[in-house]
């Protein structure tokens, strides 16, 4: 007996209202077992013609999916529901076992639901997906895609078949096995809406490329890049260590900081380091914050992780958080903030080879801004030290640092230990890490070199390699 059967069997003797609440609770538990990340809203209706019983939504997604519970599995009643509700692309969920054998009526229902992107399945089918997920992690990603964009009729037997074919296909893609991969591609396209099928097949495509096989030989070959959503990206990063530069390079080309930060929190594992090795140089952010941390061994190289919705680079003594959208997304710093003198600012700017266009000095009451229309770098001016001496108990409040030889600049606030810009200004991670960060904190030369390598090295090599692959039709 299934877990859902156990839950339903215990409802004997309850009042109608209590039974309905208990049935919905059992369905909610069944859904959460299939996909723990989704949010489930329960309505006050039950078995209603056009008002859903449950509404599903997912973090970071604007769309939702409505579930209509049905107390029986009668094909012509379900066909009427499809005609009535097709615009919602709903899930119709009979609460009883569904007929496994195919006949003309079942074929009609299957075709109608595929055309209208309606999913008909039941708690028993979802339990079958959960069984496959326990042995093969990719089935968890498939189940997530089915609930978001599944279509057609998926019985318990069909759920097991789909799970097996997709699991075999993902193993096959890593070994460039054409038949198994092709079968998985077909299953995705048949049972998912175009968006989710594309996501699943892009992941297959990424694994295929990672195997060393030519992209042109991928089943139903496409020139699309392997851009993955949050769930697919997490799955790839949690795979056993994959030491394949071509795979990580291809996967990282369509990556964004926003997509990485959707992972919320992710450890500094080997796969994440490989991915960022091939993509950090082209990623951007809105702002950064530097946080002092307990000193680690100096031979430790900087490591990437995802921390509190920010992309994070941990060096031996500092942690640099990169926020993709806004400075308010940066985690609070618990470090004790120390005031920075003009002489210390000069030392940091010289060490980092950064030019400063403006310095704001403060003593807590008054603020003085020092800049020059004639000199691009004012931090080395003797007059700046003289102004600081006249400002009783003065310290550096903020600076505007130049980026490269152009007109772009980044504002560094010493009070909040953040670097960023105004409006829609965005920066390469390398710009924030090697211009703002070494001004905000006394990063040592060797540590700064390591940070520069982590965020900037390989630019020419990555671009030339990628362009060569594209010209040869390999990317």
Closest CA to 210 of 234, 245, 257, 240: 245
Q: What interhelical angle do 445-456 and 342-352 show, nearest 10?
A: 50
Rounded to the nearest integer, the mean pLDDT of the chain is 86
pTM of the model: 0.72
Q: Do residues 316 and 298 touch, judged by C-beta distance below 8 A?
A: yes
pLDDT at residue 320, rounded to an integer: 96
Torsion of CA 187, 262, 296, 354, to 10 degrees: 120
Token pair, residue 41, equals 């809203």
* pLDDT tens profile 142-188: 999 999 999 999 999 999 999 999 999 988 998 899 999 999 999 99
Please tell me the distance from the alpha carbon of residue 398 to that of residue 419, in angstroms, as a whole number.
10
Neighbours of 220 (CB within 10 A): 11
Q: How far apart are CA 119 and CA 167, in angstroms?
A: 21
Instruction: For residue 198, give every residue at least 6 positions away whose Cβ sits within 8 Å of its Cβ, in sequence order, or none.
Output: 224
38-67, pLDDT tens digit by residue?
899 999 988 888 899 999 998 767 889 999
pLDDT tens per residue across span 267-324: 999 999 999 999 999 999 999 999 998 876 655 789 999 999 999 999 989 999 999 9
Contacts 24+ apart (CB under 8 A), 447-452: 447/298, 447/315, 447/316, 447/317, 447/318, 448/351, 448/352, 450/301, 450/302, 450/315, 451/302, 451/313, 451/315, 451/320
Number of helices (H) and strands (E), helices first, in the chain?
19, 17
Distance CA 275, CA 261 (A): 14
pLDDT of 14 reads 63
**With 0-12 CB in 10 A as exposed, 13-18 as middle and 19+ as buried, what is 366?**
exposed
pLDDT recorded at residue 472? 44
Q: Phi/psi class of residue 423: alpha, beta or left (left: φ > 0; alpha: ψ in -120 to 50)?
A: left
Q: Nearest Cα to 79, choosing from 45, 100, 51, 108?
A: 108
**Distance from C-alpha of 279 to C-alpha of 251, rounded to nearest angstrom:** 9
């Amino acid at each position: 007996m299934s877990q859902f059967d156990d839950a339903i069997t215990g409802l004997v003797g309850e009042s109608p209202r209590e039974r309905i609440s208990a049935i919905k609770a059992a369905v909610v538990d069944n859904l959460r077992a299939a996909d723990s990340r989704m949010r489930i809203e329960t309505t006050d209706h039950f078995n209603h013609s056009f008002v859903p019983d449950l509404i599903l939504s997912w973090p970071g997604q604007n769309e939702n999916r409505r579930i209509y519970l049905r107390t029986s599995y009668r094909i012509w009643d379900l066909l009427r529901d499809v005609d009535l509700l097709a615009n919602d692309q709903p899930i119709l969920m009979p609460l009883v076992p569904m007929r496994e054998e195919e006949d003309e009526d079942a074929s009609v229902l299957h075709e109608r639901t595929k055309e209208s992107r309606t999913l008909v399945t039941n708690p028993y089918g979802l339990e079958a997906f959960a069984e496959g997920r326990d042995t093969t992690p990719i089935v968890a990603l498939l189940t997530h895609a089915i609930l978001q964009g599944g279509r057609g009729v998926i019985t318990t037997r069909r759920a097991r078949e789909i799970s097996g074919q997709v699991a075999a296909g993902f193993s096959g893609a890593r070994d460039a096995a054409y038949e198994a991969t092709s079968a998985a591609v077909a299953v995705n396209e048949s049972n998912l809406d175009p968006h989710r099928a594309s996501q699943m097949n892009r992941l297959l495509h990424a694994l295929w490329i990672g195997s060393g096989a030519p992209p042109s030989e991928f089943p139903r070959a496409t020139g699309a890049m392997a851009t993955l959503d949050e769930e697919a990206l997490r799955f790839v990063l949690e795979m056993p260590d994959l030491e394949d530069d071509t795979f990580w390079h291809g996967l990282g080309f369509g990556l964004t900081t926003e997509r990485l930060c959707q992972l919320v929190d992710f450890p500094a594992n080997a796969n994440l380091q490989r991915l960022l090795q091939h993509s950090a140089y082209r990623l951007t952010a809105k702002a950064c914050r530097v946080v002092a941390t307990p000193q680690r061994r100096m031979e430790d190289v900087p490591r990437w992780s995802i921390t509190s919705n920010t992309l994070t680079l941990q060096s031996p003594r500092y942690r640099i958080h990169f926020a993709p959208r806004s400075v308010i997304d940066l985690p609070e710093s618990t470090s004790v903030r120390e005031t920075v003198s003009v002489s210390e600012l000069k030392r940091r700017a010289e060490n980092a080879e950064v030019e400063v266009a403006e310095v704001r000095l403060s003593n807590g009451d008054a603020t003085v801004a020092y800049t020059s229309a004639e000199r691009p770098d004012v931090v080395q001016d003797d007059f700046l030290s003289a102004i600081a001496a006249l400002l009783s108990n003065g310290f550096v409040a903020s600076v505007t640092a130049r980026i490269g030889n152009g007109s772009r600049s980044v504002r560094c606030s010493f009070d909040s230990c953040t670097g960023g810009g105004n409006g829609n200004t965005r920066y390469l991670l390398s710009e924030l890490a090697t211009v703002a960060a070494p001004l905000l904190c006394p990063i040592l030369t060797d540590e700064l070199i390591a940070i520069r390598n982590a965020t900037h090295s390989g630019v020419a090599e990555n671009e030339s390699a990628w362009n060569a692959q594209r010209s040869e039709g390999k990317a």
